[in-house]
Amino acid sequence: AVGEGKLLQIEYALTAVGEGKTSIGIKAKNGVVLITDKKIQNKLVDVQQVKKLEKVSPSVGFVYSGVGPDYRVLVKKARKQAQAYFLQYRALKPVKALVQDTASVMQEYTQSGGVRPFGISLLVAGYDDEGPQLFQVDPSGAYYGWKASAIGKNFKNARSFLEKRYNDDVELDDAIHTALLTMREGFEGEMTEHTIEVGVVGEDRVFRVLTPAEVKDFLDEST
């Protein structure tokens, strides 16, 4: 009905996110892990060229669920903002400031003529003077800090699984295992080092994507 107070374009964007492959983030006391499903149905696609985890600044990484090309645009903008901050202050941009800037871009696209909202939600992992941080940004431009979160397909089940398993004292290695267990819950087909991607940032404040060999080691440990 007209006048329900719903902004339909944002609702549609959230539907696009819900159709996207699952991504999960967990904040540990000494770092943050991001994990995503990057399974490709078509056997002819070169899986090595499929990347969903992106380093935005040395200490911050993004992952998305939803429409891939929209993600590229946001990653590019966020990298520019991080670089501009570094040029001006000779310091890394705080995680929350980077999140706020990205959320502002997303909000702008809900209110400008001739554009549509971004069809993605983001999970942002970072480490700065405030310690490890995990944020989620939605197409409306809303952002929240989380201890653990999930976006994309199956996010409700993943989130309730995380609620049962999460504790504040978790170490990064254990958080990685919990993330893998959560992802495995609703995973279609075989979960291998080629069908998921894992990124971490620890006390060294360097965000990095784990190699397939490292992911395989974690998978072998968690079975």
Q: Does residue 66 come out as left (phi exceeding 0), alpha (psi in the -120 to 50 range) or beta? A: left
Residue by residue, pLDDT tens for the chain (223 residues) are 566 888 999 999 999 999 999 999 999 999 999 999 999 888 898 888 889 999 999 999 999 999 999 999 999 999 999 999 999 999 999 999 999 999 999 999 999 999 999 999 999 999 999 999 999 999 999 999 999 999 999 999 999 999 999 999 999 999 999 999 999 998 988 999 999 999 999 999 999 999 999 999 999 998 7
Predicted pLDDT of residue 128:
98
Rounded Cα distance, 187 and 191, in Å? 7
Ordered DSSP codes for the chain: -TTSS--HHHHHHHHHHHHSPPEEEEEETTEEEEEEE---S-TTS-GGG----EEEETTEEEEEEE-HHHHHHHHHHHHHHHHHHHHHHSSPPPHHHHHHHHHHHHHHTTTSTT----SEEEEEEEEETTEEEEEEE-TTS-EEE-SEEEESTTHHHHHHHHHHH--TT--HHHHHHHHHHHHHHT--S---TTTEEEEEEETT--EEEPPHHHHHHHHHHH-
What pLDDT is stored for residue 43 in this prediction?
Answer: 85
Q: What is the pTM of this model?
A: 0.95
Dihedral sign, Cα of residue 5, residue 8, residue 13, residue 16:
positive
Which tokens in the block code for residue 118?
């971004």
Return the closest-CA partner of residue 98 out of 53, 51, 155, 60. Answer: 60
pLDDT at 126: 98
Contact 121, 13 (CB under 8 A): no
Q: CB–CB of 97/83 below 8 Å?
A: no
And the tokens for 222? 């968690």
